[in-house]
Amino acid sequence: MYQNHFGLKEQAFSIAVNPRYLYMSQQHKEALAHLLYGVKEGGFVMLTGEVGTGKTTIIRCLLEQLPKQTEIAIILNPMANILELLCTICDEYAIEYNSKNITIKSITDLLHQHLLSNHTRGKNTVLLIDEAQLLSVEVMEQIRLLTNLETATQKLLQIVLVGQPELNELLSQPQLRQLSQRITARFHLTPLTVSETQSYISHRLRVAGMQDMAPNPFGPKMVKRIHRFTGGVPRMINVLCERALIGAYGQNKSCVDNAIFKLAKKEVEGNRESTLINKKSHPYLIYSALSACGIIGLAVIFVITHILFGSKPNDTITMVTAESAQPIRPIIREPALAPANVSDPEPEGRTNNTSRYDIENNIAAQVVLFKHLNFDINTDTHPCWQLNTQGFACSKTKLETWEEIIALNRPVVLSLINSKKFRSYAVLIGVQGEKALVIDGKNKRQIITLEELGPLWTGNVFYLWKKPKDYSEPLGLGSSNATVAEIAAQFALLDAQPTPLTKRRYNKALKERVTIFQREHQLTADGILGERTLMKLNEALGLSTILEKDFL
């Protein structure tokens, strides 16, 4: 199909994991080196990164470079209790056990025997757990206990934990401090820079068969637009570039221009407002329909169009979308309130108690929140990627009570599900007594009761916070980096002291100050600089917008 048009032998931007296409940026090389080092040295190794940054591809590359005398168990779905996880590990190692009469002790003993047997035969044993952020504290602690299986000179089991950034937050909990201290190598993957994005795209085209002298369909300006929209996340780059190449092929062009980019961007976004409303042809969309549905499927589309719009057999159709240059507009349920003498039926999926203030679109709700926080959002890209470059982090968590919302003390997006199981969102900016202050999609403030809002809230919240420069994981005693220096300077400012407690290394003096601060603000007083402690420090310094508490 389009591959021949660009001189390619295969799809250059398939999202399937293929180590051949691994683009080894400097940070990817370091990540792989950390994993290889950890596997050889024993104990725990940890790799974290946002969705789509290339963790799985690096794992595949790691597996190809493991020594021959290595037995590895890979756990891809760790959402299990302790006994189930231990049984899964035994299954991966082909360890036989009696499933009708099994306990944690008996299965651990079997694992120990297997590890000793491998050690005697000169084999290394590795356990790799993907999506490790899904593990419970109890299961994580049991995994730590597995590393106690050792000889006088070395560990019998090497464990690799791979997960999203939430894994760092999980390991910052006091119950897991022993496990956290045993991590011998850790690495956090970040999105690609603009220059790395250019190299990444060229690398994949080259691996797919494009000749060195052939023109690159993605020029420097287009690469910048791709980076701005995708935030440098490789998976998003793949999806967008794939659709853009299909579009260029459909229009018989050798490079991707702005018009093709906008159409590809719209398709990647999955604009739900798109409807079949026009008979005007567009080669890109006709090709997309053909590749997705085949000749028969396209014929069916033409028949349906003929029935709905009266088109003639030689008419063509297109998928017409809203202009991509327009800003993101919140999709708001209009008020379903009617005069007392009118009894119009309520629209399906809508309830009276959410028709006034809830927002159907998650991104739209986030934009409303960011505007409240006085951020100017460029809607060409995801708002969180945009704000991340300005030193802010988007976070999600699950809370259970309004007291926890008040303790968080910052405006949030609440995830709601109404009585008919339709999902929507509310932007909460204040709590006073039994009342909540929210902003609707038109940036109008409304006061509602917590009793009305509570049954709809799922417990999921989204919020924004200012993170220190280069912060990627919780910091504890012995850490040494620019983040420690920044935090020490902030405490000096808070305490009106002329000099910080440390220049760069997290020392005992700083830990004691952090512990006192945590105790004063009803946080876990463990001396670890995690997200909640940093958020409270921002609040104490007046660097964050807090919930309004006097609006009645």
Band of pLDDT at residue 225, cut at 50, 70 and 90: very high
pLDDT in tens, 261-304: 998 888 887 643 333 333 333 433 333 343 344 434 434 444 44
Band of pLDDT at residue 431, cut at 50, 70 and 90: very high
User: CA 219, CA 244: separation in Å to the nearest integer?
Assistant: 13
- pLDDT, residue 31, reads 84
* The pLDDT of residue 510 is above 90: yes
- The DSSP H or E segment spanning 244 is helix 234-250
Nearest by Cα to 244 from 503, 6, 77: 6
Q: How many CB atoms lie within 10 A of CB 172?
A: 22
pLDDT in tens, 136-156: 888 888 888 887 777 666 778
- Residue burial 285-319, b: 16+ Cβ < 10 Å; e: rest: bbbbbeeeeeeeebeebbeebeeeeebeeeeebbb
Mean pLDDT in the chain? 79
pLDDT in tens, 105-140: 888 889 989 988 988 888 888 899 988 888 888 888
Residue keyed to tokens 């190794």: 45
* The pLDDT of residue 257 is above 90: yes
The 3-state DSSP class for residue 46 equals strand
Q: CA torsion sign, 310 to 311 to 317 to 322? A: negative
Backbone angles phi, psi at 551, to 5 degrees: -125, 0
Q: How many CB atoms lie within 10 A of CB 26?
A: 8
Let me know: does 424 contact 364? Beta carbons within 8 Å.
no
Let me know: does 178 contact 43? Beta carbons within 8 Å.
no
- The DSSP H or E segment spanning 481 is none
Instruction: Return the minimum-mean-pLDDT range out of 216-230, 321-335, 431-445, 475-489.
Output: 321-335
* The pLDDT of residue 498 is above 70: yes
> Rounded to the nearest 5 degrees, what angle is found at the Cα of 481, between the Cα atoms of 477 and 487?
75
CA distances from 45 to 149, 386, 479 (A): 17, 30, 17
Tokens of 58: 């690096």
Q: Which residues pair with 73 in a beta bridge?
A: 127
User: CA 221, CA 546: separation in Å to the nearest integer?
Assistant: 39
Provide the phi-psi class of 323: left if phi over 0, else alpha when psi is between -120 and 50, else beta. Answer: beta
CA distances from 214 to 23, 142, 183, 246 (A): 20, 55, 46, 18
User: Mind giving me the DSSP string for 250-297?
Assistant: HTT-SS--HHHHHHHHHHHHT-TT-EEEE----HHHHHHHHHHHHHHH
User: Mind giving me the DSSP string for 320-346?
Assistant: E---TTSPP---BPPP----TT--PPP
